[in-house]
Amino acid sequence: MSEKVGVLIRAESGPGVLHQLTGVIAECQGNIASVEIIEDLPTGSTLYFEVDLPKPPEALIQGLRSLAVVREASLVNTLQKIYGKRVIIIGGGAQVGQVAIGAISEADRHNIRGEHISVDTIPLVGEQALAEAVRAVARLPRASALVLAGSLMGGEIENAVRQVRAQGLLVISLNMAGSVPEAADLVVTDPVQAGVMAVMAVADTAKFTVARLKRRSF
């Protein structure tokens, strides 16, 4: 059975460094789940990998440390273990703040019981900016639910919502003008309640499933 591990590497910067690192991971039969170049400067780079390994990770760390380009390699907890699932809140500033109150309060209740749920917010205005942000959520690691908090959203934002829902992302919308509520999984009038329900929907410690609801507007 494989184990997902986090690997933090400080190495020289230049062409071919990433190729050497991934070569060692492949030799250890590791499957790279994610990779991030945290810092890339002429003086050196810092990289973070999450790797599924079928064997204990010590051999991987030793293999990485044996490379001439590697200055330091160490095991760290994965971001999933530290931050867990992510609830993303996008929209108008006032509504975003109210949704965040509900989401953070509910996440705290579940995290005390051993869950790991984090909440990210970004106030934005403008159809194009919002549509691009919605599509980008599907590319964010560990994103489990998106809450759209605004008073008017439609057009290209609706198309973006349908696209990310097709990729498996849960989308909750405030009850607002425009066509976005028609495209969302769930429509909630009260912003605080929307934040609470978003966290409940993704928490393993909650007995709440959107698919079992008999209606989708609250």
User: What residues in the chain have per-residue pLDDT under 70?
Assistant: 211, 213, 215
Predicted local confidence at residue 39, as pLDDT: 86
Query: How far is Cα 119 from Cα 128, in angstroms, rounded to an integer?
Result: 23
Predicted local confidence at residue 21, as pLDDT: 95
pTM attached to this predicted model: 0.82
The answer to whether 32 and 51 have CB atoms below 8 angstroms apart is yes
Tokens of 116: 């790991």
pLDDT tens-digit profile of 58-114?
999 999 999 999 999 999 999 888 888 999 999 988 899 999 999 999 999 999 988
Predicted local confidence at residue 19, as pLDDT: 95
Predicted local confidence at residue 209, as pLDDT: 73
Angle between helix 58-65 and helix 17-27 axes, rounded to 10 deg: 150
Predicted local confidence at residue 204, as pLDDT: 85
Query: How far is Cα 216 from Cα 213, in angstroms, rounded to an integer?
Result: 7
Predicted local confidence at residue 206, as pLDDT: 73
The answer to whether 89 and 120 have CB atoms below 8 angstroms apart is yes
Length of the chain, in residues: 218
Query: How far is Cα 166 from Cα 215, in angstroms, rounded to an integer?
Result: 20
Predicted local confidence at residue 22, as pLDDT: 94
